[in-house]
Amino acid sequence: MELGCFTLRYSVPSYPSCFLETDSDLDLMRTFLLISNEKTVDILVKDLCGISEYSGDFCVNKELIACEKGEWSCSSTVEDRNKFLGRSKRASAKPLLSNEWETYIHHVGQKFDGGAEEFRLKLCKYALEVGFNFLYAGNDKKRVVAVCSNKKLEGCSWRVYASRCEATGSFVIRTLNNVHTCAGRIRESKSKMMRSRVVSSLIVDRIRAKPELKPVEIIHEFKDYYGIDISYYHAWFGKELAKLDVHGDESKSFNELVWYADAVKETNTGSLCTLDCEAGINRFRRFFVSFGGCIAGFQYCIPLLFIDATFLKSKYKGQLLCASGKNGNQGFYPLAFGVVDSETEENWTWFLQHLASILLPMGRVVTFFSDRNQGLLNAMGFVFPGWPHSYCYYHLKQNLISKYPKSGYGKLLQDRVINFFSRCAYAVTEEEFKVAMEELVIVGSSKVKAFISDLSRDHYANAFFKGMRYGEMANSLAESFNNWVGVFRDLPVLPLIEGIRQKLMVLNSQRRFEAEKWTTVLCPEMETRLCENAEAGRTWAIRRSNCTVFEVFADYSVMVNLEQRTCSCRLWQIDGFPCTHAVAAILAKRDSVYDYVECYYKTDFFRKAYESPIFPIPDIGKGLGSNGSAAGVVLPPITKRPAGRPPTKRIKVLGEFKRPLKCSRCSVAGHNRKTCKAII
Whether 189 is in a domain gets the answer no
Task: Round to whole Å and give the CA distance between 288 and 352.
Answer: 10
Whether 509 is in a domain gets the answer no
Q: What is the pLDDT of residue 388?
A: 95
Whether 676 is in a domain gets the answer no
Task: Round to whole Å and give the CA distance between 305 and 301.
Answer: 10
Q: What is the pLDDT of residues 97-138, one digit of tens each?
A: 888 998 899 899 999 998 999 999 999 999 999 889 999 999
Residues contacting residue 150 through CB under 8 Å, at least 6 positions apart: 132, 156, 180, 182, 183
Where among 434, 459, 484 does a domain terminate?
459
Query: How distant is the alpha carbon of residue 373 from its chain centre?
Result: 28
Q: What is the pLDDT of residues 335-378, one digit of tens each?
A: 999 999 888 999 999 999 999 999 999 999 999 999 888 889 99
Helix/strand/coil for 613: coil
311 has which bridge partners?
319
Whether 657 is in a domain gets the answer no
Domain shared by 65 and 131, yes or no: no
Q: What is the pLDDT of residue 639?
A: 75
Domain shared by 75 and 119, yes or no: no
Where among 213, 230, 247 does a domain terminate?
247
- Residue range(s) defining the domain that contains residue 435: 394-459
Domain shared by 171 and 107, yes or no: yes
Domain count of the chain?
Answer: 4
Task: Round to whole Å and give the CA distance between 288 and 164.
Answer: 46
Q: What is the pLDDT of residue 56?
A: 37
Task: Round to whole Å and give the CA distance between 546 and 296.
Answer: 42
Task: Round to whole Å and give the CA distance between 365 and 388.
Answer: 8
Give the per-residue SS3 of 140-194: CCCEEEEEECCHHHHCCCCEEEEEECCCCCCEEEEEEECCCCCCCCCCCCCCCCC
Give the per-residue SS3 of 615-646: CCCCCCCCCCCCCCCHHHCCECCCCCCCCCCC
Q: What is the pLDDT of residues 131-143, one digit of tens each?
A: 899 999 999 989 9
Domain shared by 145 and 74, yes or no: no
Task: Round to whole Å and give the CA distance between 228 and 222.
Answer: 6
Whether 144 is in a domain gets the answer yes
Whether 426 is in a domain gets the answer yes
Whether 493 is in a domain gets the answer no
Task: Round to whole Å and give the CA distance between 209 and 20.
Answer: 55
- Contact status, residue 665 vs residue 671, Cβ threshold 8 Å: no
Q: Percentage of the chain with pLDDT > 90?
A: 54
Mean pLDDT of the region 450-465: 90
Whether 286 is in a domain gets the answer no
Domain shared by 108 and 58, yes or no: no
Q: What is the pLDDT of residues 524-573, one digit of tens each?
A: 999 999 999 999 999 999 999 999 999 999 989 999 999 999 999 999 99
Where among 228, 247, 266 does a domain terminate?
247
On the 0-12 / 13-18 / 19+ scale of CB atoms within 10 A, 477 is: buried
Q: What is the pLDDT of residues 176-196, one digit of tens each?
A: 999 888 876 777 888 888 889
Domain shared by 204 and 150, yes or no: no
Whether residue 323 has pLDDT greater than 90: yes
Q: What is the pLDDT of residue 69?
A: 40
352-355's contacts with Cβ under 8 Å and 24+ in sequence apart are: 352/379, 352/380, 352/383, 352/384, 353/383, 354/272, 354/274, 354/288, 354/290, 355/290, 355/305, 355/323, 355/383
Whether residue 75 has pLDDT greater than 60: no
